Structure 1
Amino acid sequence: MRRLSAILMLNILGIALFASWYLPENHGLWLRLDEGIFLYFNHYIAGSHAFAVLLAITNYRAFDLMSLLAMGLLYVHYFLRTPPQRRYQLISIGIVMLLSAVVLNQLGHLLPGSRPSPTVFFQNADGVVRVSQVTGIPTKDASMDSFPGDHGMMLMIFAAYMLRYFGGRAFACGMAILVLFSLPRVMIGAHWFSDIAVGSLSVVLVGLSWWLVTTASDKAVIWCNRRLPGERDRSYQGNINRN
């Protein structure tokens, strides 16, 4: 009953969050917040070449590997702290996490409300610049459909899995990774703030709650763990918290 209550609360929160963006004309207060954030950072991009170069580098496609590296290092940290006979369970959790991320990402794009990124929306506005034009670096600073934020959603899913299976400290590290690697997308104008704060988060709250709060993810981990080759401990106790 407690799990069902938690799931329903997360679903209500996710639906209400999306409705607060989708139902008002022109997205209501969210658009004002989005515009304010974009124009604030764009002002500094136009006034500082060094800042523009920094954003170009942190939004370059190859830089996405840094976020994968950060998540990988955090996961390896807990992997190495886990007894060898139980490490296959962490491999299974990793596989299940990747599969659920792919599924949620695809479902997220079924949401209504697709729109271009701020740099495309304001492309003819006076004083608005694009980092790729200012620096000459072919970075990711625009998108014809930025809602919901794919990158932010993947990072949120990782953080949620860290909370479910490794505890609060791991979740805090996952959230730090989320902020560190999703903020540059907003600062450069490749995403609106609400692409992540509404689009990504609402999908994760609704979709992942039915997966992680119930025993569904545990059953998937058990299924995967039993089918991986090799000799190891095939028992499973739910959380693997080594904090």
Structure 2
Amino acid sequence: MKIQLSRILLLNAAGFALFLCWYMPENHGMWFTLDTSIFHFFNPLLAGHRAFVWFLAITNNRAFDACSLLAMGALMLRFWLKSDPAGRRRIVIIGLVMLLTAIIVNQFAQALMPVKRASPTLFFSDALRVSDLLHIPTKDASKDSFPGDHGMMLLIFCAFMWRYFGRRTFLLALVIFVVFAFPRVMIGAHWLTDIVIGSLTSVLIGLPWILLTPMSDKMICFMDRYLPGKNKQKINK
């Protein structure tokens, strides 16, 4: 794959513009209004809707994160089952490259973004917390919620699906993203902008240099060459 420099720079510019339109206004301008409106819509529901409390507790439990991995794996499994041994090896390696990419992009984003803020449940002193209502482990708060790392991982998954499996698979991946990322916003563990600004900005700036250059393909070839297993040469033919 050739370096698509114009697309890379366009996506980078969009990422920087998105971040600055949130970061530059005093108190984040209209974005803070949107954030607080969404939080104050969902949080009072915890007081009178026991089923909603249980829903958020379950969908934000660490064990539920495994369900997101299963959903992503199931989407890739469709292609794995239809492939020959060489193709199956390649799909597994794509998954490993995707995981490594997610770790790299997340670490750079956490280190370089000049923002640290608490989640809504810690920012507002009168916020209701699911963990106080049910006394079970659940992700309902964060001392440093920006950018949303969970949403970032899911967005990277979406991008990889588009790059290697096509647009239709990308659309299905977006459904997975919404289902598993936005319960964090509903419970108050993240502001909406932790995802739509923080996660998306990180992906727009970092990921094009991997997926729109030969880098991801070279990483796949490198792992194919050095990881143990059969059908190594067949992948690159």
Q: TM-score, normalised by structure 2?
A: 0.94
Shift, 1:133, TM fit: 1.4
Shift, 1:24, TM fit: 1.1
What is the identity, as a one-letter code, of the residue corresponding to 1:108? Answer: A
Moved more, 222-231 or 97-106: 222-231
SS in 1 for 2:9: helix
Would the aligned equivalents of 1:14 and 1:202 in 2 still touch at CA under 8 Å?
Answer: yes
Aligned match of 1:79: 80
Matched positions, count: 235
Aligned identity (percent) is 53
Shift, 1:94, TM fit: 1.4
Would the aligned equivalents of 1:86 and 1:233 in 2 still touch at CA under 8 Å?
Answer: no
Instruction: Supply the distance in 1 between the matched residues of 2:158 and 2:37 (Cα, whole angstroms).
Output: 28
What is the identity, as a one-letter code, of the residue corresponding to 1:97? Answer: M
Shift, 1:237, TM fit: 6.6
- The two structures, once aligned, show a CA RMSD in angstroms of 1.7
Shift, 1:18, TM fit: 0.7
Instruction: Supply the distance in 2 between the matched residues of 1:178 and 1:208 (Cα, whole angstroms).
Output: 17
Would the aligned equivalents of 1:92 and 1:224 in 2 still touch at CA under 8 Å?
Answer: yes
Shift, 1:85, TM fit: 2.5
Instruction: Supply the distance in 2 between the matched residues of 1:11 and 1:235 (Cα, whole angstroms).
Output: 35
1:174 matches 2:173:
yes
Instruction: Supply the distance in 1 between the matched residues of 2:100 and 2:115 (Cα, whole angstroms).
Output: 25
Instruction: Supply the distance in 1 between the matched residues of 2:176 and 2:150 (Cα, whole angstroms).
Output: 12
Gaps of 5+ in 1: 239-243
Aligned match of 1:61: 62
Would the aligned equivalents of 1:57 and 1:139 in 2 still touch at CA under 8 Å?
Answer: yes
Aligned match of 1:120: 122
The equivalences for 1:151-170 within 5 A come to 151-170=150-169
Shift, 1:5, TM fit: 1.3
Would the aligned equivalents of 2:145 and 2:194 in 1 still touch at CA under 8 Å?
Answer: yes
CA deviation profile, 1:46-97 (whole Å, cap 9, x unmatched): 2211111110111111111111111111111211122223222112211111
Instruction: Supply the distance in 2 between the matched residues of 1:70 and 1:114 (Cα, whole angstroms).
Output: 31
Aligned match of 2:230: 231
